[in-house]
Structure 1
Amino acid sequence: MTIELEEPPLTQDNKQVAKDLFAGTMGGIAQVLVGQPFDCIKVRVQSAPEGTYSGSIDAIKKLLANEGPRGFYKGTLTPLIGVGACVSVQFSVNEFMKRYFDKKLDGKPMSLLDYFYCGAVAGFANGFLASPIEHIRIRLQTQTGNTKSFSGPLDCAKKIYQTDGLKGIYKGLGPTLIRESIGLGIYFATYEALIARDLKQHPKLTRADIPAWKLCLFGGLSGYTLWIGIYPVDVIKSKMQTDSIKDPKYKTSLSVIKDIWRHQGIKGFYKGFAPTILRAAPANGATFAVFELTMRVLG
């Protein structure tokens, strides 16, 4: 299946790359501001010991009772900087790969699989940045009440490094790379397919004419396909990254899988799924809309 998109000629110069990076950063900041409360609940439900929360609503109630509304934005500084950088990498590498395929195909339409490859390469590259950033963010998000092991992101990174070196900082890298590669392949391919479908239904319009609300809708739907496709991998990653630093329970992803299956069965791989799906539409809708609109402003 080929996807015909009416776009301006793609260029590979440094100026274009800088635009991609800046627009991606803006999209990442929008994603964090919109999605952080949902993400905080997701991580707590995923990683808490069995019986801590009866569900997402219970986690919300306990967070509000113990920490107030500000608790939803615990550890926000790390993702605000980090996710901005991550989404910047995701979108800039994806755009770079689209330009690569455009040149390789000599301007012929890219297929859905080509767009998947572009997203998968972007996801793999991003995984090396996302893994330590998410590890630190998760450590901060799961600190409850007055029991605090870390005073902030730098203190967290320092203590992890002192205990387990660079290997500790990059704990969960394997499942992160799998999640990002497959997930972002699905993510960007879905978005481009939706854009192509809309342009086919309105032949007189160009990509720049698509209204912001549609960009949000397409981004939200892409977020759904992303998380439905890779959610169990995210649970495995979160379990590894909330494991004890000094006396870890899990040595590999396989040990996490075995433990979840033994104690919770298949449902254990979908803990925290509700807040993730609720977050998917607004967070990813905002990400794509802000990226596209920023690119239009930059020309």
Structure 2
Amino acid sequence: MAIELEEPQIESNAQVLKDLFAGTMGGIAQVLVGQPFDTVKVRLQSAPEGTYTGAIDVIKRLIKNEGFAGFYKGTLTPLVGVGACVSVQFSVNEFMKRYYDRKLQGHSLSLINYFNCGAVAGFANGFLASPIEHIRIRLQTQTGTQKTFNGPLHCAKKIYEIDGIRGIYKGLGPSLVRESVGLGIYFATYEALIAKDLKHHSGLTRSQIKPWKLCLYGGLSGYSLWIAIYPVDVIKSKLQTDALKAAQYKSSLSVIRDVWTKQGIKGFYKGFLPTILRAAPANGATFAVFELTIRLLNK
């Protein structure tokens, strides 16, 4: 199925730099909006069965024991890291769109083409996202006064001392699956919504689509991503919060067996509520900031 969209701009070094910068801005917006939701999600995913009764219980305890600053624990890592990750996601996705545009010689890209663009972007991003998320999750799940890690650099150093580079990249397998499949769906959904809007309003250009619509389409794309790949994210989080010494899990399969045996299918959707609540504002902000930054840079 072909969908009508404006032709991507001709590739140039300047445009690649613009994509990278706009992606970084989108990533920063995503972290600032979504970090509190992410902290709640990670604690629900990684805590032993019975620790929390639900997302509200996590929020109450977090405020009581750590204050509102607890929601932004480990924020420095994602602020830098997610900015870099989203920069890679969007710049590679835009690069692939230009590649397909040349290959198809002006014909419209199909949804499969857009899925492929997002999947390549996700695969490339997975190698960056995996260690960044590992460090962030270790910091997010620290509770009490006895801290194992004093910050992101100290955390990375400790992990490396115990398990080397393999430890830093723990959870890489599910990260690559999540990023490839998830971002393929993510970007294809967004482009389909943009295309529908352009088709519905004759004469409208992409740069004229209102910011609130960009937020809406980004939010819906976030929903499609997390609904599709959430169980994979749980597996990744379980691996990345496992003990550094005497680890319980040897692989993703051992996580799957353990979660299925102890909790059944619901175990793979632990923390789903805060994730879905986060999806609309965080991803809406990401796409809107990216598109608006590109518009400013291309003036």
1:184 match: 183
2:154 match: 155
1:277 match: 276
Cα distance between partner residues in 1 of 2:146 and 2:296: 46
2:30 match: 31
Instruction: Determine whether 1:246 maps to 2:236.
Output: no
Cα deviation, 1:92-121, whole Å, max 9, x if unaligned, reads 000000000000000100000000000000
2:229 match: 230
Using the TM superposition, give the Cα deviation of residue 175 of structure 1 relative to its aligned residue in structure 2, in angstroms. Answer: 0.1
Cα deviation, 1:68-100, whole Å, max 9, x if unaligned, reads 000000000000000000000000000000000
Cα distance between partner residues in 1 of 2:181 and 2:256: 19
Letter in 1 for 2:232: V
2:104 match: 105
Q: TM-score when scaled to structure 2?
A: 0.99
Cα deviation, 1:273-293, whole Å, max 9, x if unaligned, reads 000000000000000000000
Structure 1 residues 1-299: aligned runs within 5 Å: 1-7=1-7, 9-299=8-298
Using the TM superposition, give the Cα deviation of residue 10 of structure 1 relative to its aligned residue in structure 2, in angstroms. Answer: 1.8
Report the secondary structure of 2:248's partner residue. coil
Using the TM superposition, give the Cα deviation of residue 147 of structure 1 relative to its aligned residue in structure 2, in angstroms. Answer: 2.5
Using the TM superposition, give the Cα deviation of residue 247 of structure 1 relative to its aligned residue in structure 2, in angstroms. Answer: 1.1
Count how many residue pairs are aligned between Structure 1 and Structure 2: 298
Cα distance between partner residues in 1 of 2:93 and 2:264: 36
Identity in percent: 78
- Is the CA contact (8 Å cut-off) linking 1:10 and 1:102 kept in structure 2? no
Cα distance between partner residues in 1 of 2:35 and 2:50: 24
Unaligned runs of 5+ in 2: none
Cα distance between partner residues in 2 of 1:107 and 1:282: 34
Report the secondary structure of 2:204's partner residue. coil
Cα distance between partner residues in 2 of 1:147 and 1:232: 31
Cα distance between partner residues in 1 of 2:265 and 2:290: 36
Letter in 2 for 1:53: Y
Report the secondary structure of 1:3's partner residue. coil
Q: Would you identify which runs of 4 or more consecutive aligned residues in structure 1 move more than 6 Å?
A: none
Letter in 1 for 2:4: E
Q: TM-score when scaled to structure 1?
A: 0.99
Cα distance between partner residues in 1 of 2:9 and 2:65: 52
Cα distance between partner residues in 1 of 2:106 and 2:66: 55
Unaligned runs of 5+ in 1: none
Report the secondary structure of 1:110's partner residue. coil
